Amino acid sequence: MARTRPNDPAAPRLAALAALLADETRASFCLALLDGRAWTAGELARSAGVAPSTASEHLGKLIGGGLLTEERQGRHRYVRLADGRTAQLIEELAAHAAPGAEKPPRTLREASLQHALARGRTCYDHLAGRLGIRITDAMTERGLLRQDTGFALTDEGLGWFGGLGVRLDTASRRPLARGCLDWTERRPHLAGVSGAALCRHVLDAGWCERVGTGRAVRATPDGLRALSRHLDIDPGHLT
């Protein structure tokens, strides 16, 4: 009996996308690139514990499938996630993965990394983990952000950003505020233009610092004081 083609023309594209992420090495590359920065093939190979030749093969598939883009500067080749929509897709797929399916850490280093990522991290260009959730909750409690009808900044929220000296690009095609499902907390954190602007501000102002070379971040002593002053966040909730 002849095989019939699916009625929905999107089915083959969805199957191809699923196949791209149905490999642990390629999935780990995409998760690492959620830090929003460009990585070399060698850096990704080391992070995933695979040979450079293996990394190059997998990167070729991810680039060909449109999940990653490639940039070359002289002899160096860099890759990054294609765009913010791709980052949102990766983060939300990770959040929808079955709870408890994660492999237990095999080493102290792996356990420390998991703890650091759960405490705070960047999700492409905004904050995630407990840090991102605490900030999102505090903004909602103070009336700066609404979540009852989707994510939306209030007038007070717009004024709050202005008071910090943070300029929001209201002309951007991206939503000013949107929720992004957090894969460790399984609740939405703030993303969109305002989420990206806040992430840049806390890093530039020294309120947060990166931990190691990945996407884990933590609040600094200055940041704990600033977040307490501006959002009434208990420093004990972030340490």
> Would you put residue 36 in left (φ > 0), alpha (ψ -120 to 50) or beta?
left
Question: How far is it, in rounded angstroms, from Cα 32 to Cα 107?
Answer: 19
Q: For residue 54, give every residue at least 6 positions away whose Cβ sits within 8 Å of its Cβ, in sequence order, or none.
A: 25, 45
Q: Which domains does the chain have, with CATH numbers?
A: 11-82 (1.10.10.10), 108-237 (no CATH)
Give the pairing of strands 188-191 and 178-181: antiparallel
23 has pLDDT over 70? yes
Per-residue pLDDT tens for 106-147? 777 667 778 888 899 998 899 999 999 999 999 999 999 999
Of the candidates 111, 98, 139, the residue with the CA atom closest to the CA atom of residue 216 = 111
SS3 label, residue 28: helix
Question: How far is it, in rounded angstroms, from Cα 158 to Cα 162?
Answer: 6
Per-residue pLDDT tens for 62-76? 999 999 999 888 888
Q: What does pTM read for this prediction?
A: 0.77
